[in-house]
Chains A and B, each alone.
Chain A
Amino acid sequence: MSHTELVVWSAVLIGLCFGATGQATGFCLMRGLANSWTLGDNRKLRSFVLAMAVALLGSQALAAAGLVSLQDSLYANPAPSWLAIPLGGALFGYGMTLANGCGARALVLLGSGNLRSFVVLTCLGLAAYMALSGVLATPRIWLEGMTTLALPAHDLPEAIGAPAWLVALILGSALLAWVFSSATFRTSPRDWLGGLIIGILIPAGWYATGVLGHDDFEPVRLASLTFIAPIGESLQYLMLSTGTRLGFGVSVVGGVFVGALAMALLRRDFTLRAFDGPRQMLRSMAGGTLMGIGGVMALGCSIGQGLSGMSTLALTAFAALAGIVVGARLGIVGPLALSKN
């Protein structure tokens, strides 16, 4: 098996785990934020933060062992746009509230029979590629070019002059301490198991692309889980597979869908759902579109920057995640919240 085939199969496996876990546990940052801010129930939020902590510790362990160089990742961009990243994050966060979940959640919901997510995913994929290389690409590139900021460092450890493993250990421990400080969370295996498994999949992704995908002549691009460009790429792959090759991102997307579908059928949780009416459909379309555009501007989504990006301690990840949370707040309890109907 060639190294590229090995990466594809690993990606499918990782996707299957993500999809199955997501379906069984309901892992979702949007739900976590919404429940925290409106119901005072922060179990799902702790679940996401647990995933973040596990991803951070696992990925930095790989880096400390010299197996992968996380500074080669997309997130460690030393000259990002100071406007596009947080603004994109906010657009993504708001879009997430309109669409009732991020791109990864939409894939899991689609696997459970929710046809509304098909609309979200299609709009997300379309919008993402419009912004990446389509009709919105030129204005995006112009905006990013006008607002480029040369950062003094790729990531947080470099910025404060501390060794990466130490920063990871301190930050990871602090996050874990907060996560497990709640008794209701500790006694909810659905939530901490979900966070744990999803968190482990991030370093698994780095390992698949950085170690299994290593080759002197045709190295695979270092990446871990992200769901903006890969969803657009998957739409493209379905249409152009005879002229393109399967990559890590598309294989993960396929795996997530199949994994969620399998788990939904196993748990007899598969129900076909559609829109109540045109307004709900418009909300989903708008949500998907905002997520696609925002995700491209922010270099990632709730999983891409929130988990994978943060696991590298890249400075862009902090800005993007902050933007996502602000955007989500605007949509859940803020001035732009739309009434549920």
Chain B
Amino acid sequence: MRSARPTHHDAARRRLLRSLVAAVAAIGLATPAMAEGPWQRLDAARNVLGDAEPATQGLVLDLPHVSEDGASVALSVGFDGELADDDYISRIDLFATANPSPEIATFHLTPLSGKPEIATRVRLNETQQVIAIATSHQGERFATAREVRITVSGCLMRNGSDQPEPLSNPRVSVPTRFSPGQPEAVRTLINHPMETGLREGADGEIVPRHIIERFTVSLNGETAFEAELHQSISASPYLLFYLSPEESGEAVFEWQDDSGNSARHEAAIETS
């Protein structure tokens, strides 16, 4: 039977309780400051952000939880947030925090892109966070990150089978007919080893770096979509993006690699 008077033990218990509450409050107040995203800890990402504090809602990064083949991980980035009426997403940057070289790609979008959604396949060296940063035309910034668990290293390719000719066989799937104001998906693929410059060949020598650096899509001569690619894009780069042409004409797709060679594909499009 407990006595009615407060005992020495009760006083000690109250003191302990007060300290605990204070500690939890301190952690709670400190948490916003610690809830910075992984983009604050990556130099390359901070360079893109500058001093801006990005919004963490709106940008969506879709990656598998676990990937057994780090050489080709399907990635898709999209935006479902709010923007001002005359604003649009003009740039999306992708980073792999633990790859030898963190920049994956930078995509430049225009009003002719229509929808800020891009899909590709990337190389991830090991389990890590993938970061996406979107910048709007008026300077709004959005960021998000996803962790991917990788069970096989991606940057050191393992196959020795016949490699197709670099920049050969461009495949483009673009609708021939567009409705104005209705962006449609375009898919592109082209053969290229995307040599990272880190891989040892059969003879024991490092295979030199050889990648596609730039992919440009122009509609009737005006640049609609542009991608700067780095070595963390998987071999035979696959890109899905949106186009929303305003008038009929010609779409030109061009790939340029770091040895000065390029490939080109043209398609006629109709806007009705």
- State the A residues within 8 Å of B (CB): 78-79, 132-133, 137, 216-218, 236, 240, 242-245
Q: Is the CB of A133 within 8 A of B187?
A: no
Rounded to whole Å, the gap between the CB of A152 and the closest CB of chain B is: 14
Could you say which of B65, B151, B240 contacts A243, with CB atoms under 8 Å apart?
A: B65
- A240 to B68: give the CA distance in the assembly, Å: 13
Residue of B nearest to A134 (CB): B151
Q: Is the CB of A240 within 8 A of B187?
A: no
Rounded to whole Å, the gap between the CB of B239 and the closest CB of chain A is: 9
Residues of B within 8 A of A137 (CB): 151
- A242 to B68: give the CA distance in the assembly, Å: 16
B173 sits at the interface (CB 8 A):
yes
- State the B residues within 8 Å of A (CB): 64-66, 68, 151-152, 160-161, 171, 173, 187, 189, 238, 240
- List the 8 closest A-B pairs by CB distance, nearest first: A243-B65, A133-B151, A216-B171, A217-B187, A217-B189, A240-B65, A244-B64, A243-B64
Contact of A216 with B173 at beta-carbon distance under 8 Å, contacts A79-B160, A133-B151 already known: yes
Could you say which of A132, A216, A243, A245 contacts B189, with CB atoms under 8 Å apart?
A: A216
Residues of B within 8 A of A78 (CB): 160-161
Residues of B within 8 A of A216 (CB): 171, 173, 189
Complex A-B: 9 CB contacts under 8 Å: A79-B160, A216-B173, A217-B171, A217-B189, A217-B238, A218-B238, A242-B65, A243-B65, A243-B66
Q: Is the CB of B66 within 8 A of A240?
A: yes
A-B contact count (CB 8 A): 30
Q: Is the CB of B173 within 8 A of A217?
A: yes
A78-B161, A245-B64 given; 4 more Cβ-contact pairs under 8 Å: A79-B160, A132-B151, A216-B171, A217-B171
Residues of B within 8 A of A242 (CB): 65
Rounded to whole Å, the gap between the CB of A234 and the closest CB of chain B is: 14
- A205 to B240: give the CA distance in the assembly, Å: 29
Rounded to whole Å, the gap between the CB of B122 and the closest CB of chain A is: 14
Residue of A nearest to B69 (CB): A221
Residue of A nearest to B187 (CB): A217
Residues of A within 8 A of B161 (CB): 78
- A243 to B189: give the CA distance in the assembly, Å: 25
Contact of A236 with B66 at beta-carbon distance under 8 Å, contacts A216-B171, A218-B238 already known: yes
Residues of B within 8 A of A79 (CB): 160
Residue of B nearest to A240 (CB): B65
- A137 to B66: give the CA distance in the assembly, Å: 16
- A137 to B151: give the CA distance in the assembly, Å: 10
- A244 to B151: give the CA distance in the assembly, Å: 14
- A243 to B61: give the CA distance in the assembly, Å: 12
- A146 to B240: give the CA distance in the assembly, Å: 41
Residue of B nearest to A242 (CB): B65
- A244 to B238: give the CA distance in the assembly, Å: 20
With a 10 A CB-CB cut-off, give which of A78, A216, A236 has the most chain B CB atoms: A216
Residues of A within 8 A of B151 (CB): 132-133, 137
With a 10 A CB-CB cut-off, give which of A133, A217, A218, A244 has the most chain B CB atoms: A217
- A218 to B68: give the CA distance in the assembly, Å: 17
Rounded to whole Å, the gap between the CB of A247 and the closest CB of chain B is: 11
Residue of B nearest to A150 (CB): B160
- A218 to B72: give the CA distance in the assembly, Å: 11
With a 10 A CB-CB cut-off, give which of A78, A133, A137, A245 has the most chain B CB atoms: A133
Rounded to whole Å, the gap between the CB of B182 and the closest CB of chain A is: 21
Q: Is the CB of A133 within 8 A of B152?
A: yes
Residues of A within 8 A of B189 (CB): 216-217
Rounded to whole Å, the gap between the CB of A296 and the closest CB of chain B is: 12
Rounded to whole Å, the gap between the CB of B168 and the closest CB of chain A is: 14
Rounded to whole Å, the gap between the CB of A84 and the closest CB of chain B is: 16
Residues of A within 8 A of B171 (CB): 216-217
Residues of B within 8 A of A236 (CB): 66
Rounded to whole Å, the gap between the CB of B103 and the closest CB of chain A is: 24
Rounded to whole Å, the gap between the CB of B192 and the closest CB of chain A is: 14
Q: Is the CB of B173 within 8 A of A244?
A: no
- A217 to B151: give the CA distance in the assembly, Å: 24
- A297 to B226: give the CA distance in the assembly, Å: 45
Could you say which of B66, B152, B160, B187 contacts A244, with CB atoms under 8 Å apart?
A: B66
- A216 to B171: give the CA distance in the assembly, Å: 7
With a 10 A CB-CB cut-off, give which of B65, B171, B173 has the most chain A CB atoms: B65
Rounded to whole Å, the gap between the CB of A125 and the closest CB of chain B is: 14
Rounded to whole Å, the gap between the CB of A246 and the closest CB of chain B is: 12
- A132 to B187: give the CA distance in the assembly, Å: 33
Rounded to whole Å, the gap between the CB of A77 and the closest CB of chain B is: 10
- A58 to B152: give the CA distance in the assembly, Å: 34
Rounded to whole Å, the gap between the CB of B246 and the closest CB of chain A is: 26
Rounded to whole Å, the gap between the CB of A233 and the closest CB of chain B is: 9
Q: Is the CB of A133 within 8 A of B64?
A: no
